[in-house]
Structure 1
């Protein structure tokens, strides 16, 4: 791997406005305020009748995500989901494109389903937002699978 030039003089790092989210084949409207996703592979420990760790299993893979958007834009997404069934029942893929100049990075947040909707409103001048917490089947980052043998849902 080539070292990164430091400092980056000619060019820009991607920022939040470089991000384009696609849900159910439609580009998420402007109004997205936060997008978070994470995954992990937690290995099991093999000890037998020993106090010392003698090995580990592949483990259990898990992933979660959340989307936060202004109320009108989240309402549009929820309406689209409701047309396909209950908003907590419809599975969808969330495609995250990070576009900057000629470079495109694509993350796939696969098999998403809303599990919690959170409205957290308080006094002030900020616009109202709503957060959707997602149950996720898997995340593929820029074509890189989370582990050997991972199958896209």
Structure 2
């Protein structure tokens, strides 16, 4: 079973993104907002995924499979009203950790979030983020992509 240990932060100041890898992402949710497990379709550039994520904030079950464009297109209409579009910048911090910075598009603009994954829960809890990271929103359900896809930008 795959487990994701991740912290999520608002972005206080946009860093230099020149050394990052950019992807255009659109994702939609097949499950209802109040379901404890989420089933998500994601297109990241020209690659397509089906992802299952369990409940939780810092630690969650995550399983992902690459699917074909045809499979994606078959189920995409079922995500109507539960979608998110963003640009994702993946880069490396000076300490060697990889970050994923999301710049949301559409109704969620100009929201920016950054995520860092960890090997252990203790490592995640002990982490001191760089200055350009803003408030820690890991436990704030309003900043889960599924919630924003259905409820809009957090206030």
TM over 0.5: no
Please tell me whether Structure 1 or Structure 2 has the larger radius of gyration of its CA atoms: 1
Q: Which structure is richer in relative contact order (CA contacts within 8 A, separation 6 or more)?
A: 2
Q: TM-score, normalising length from structure 2?
A: 0.24
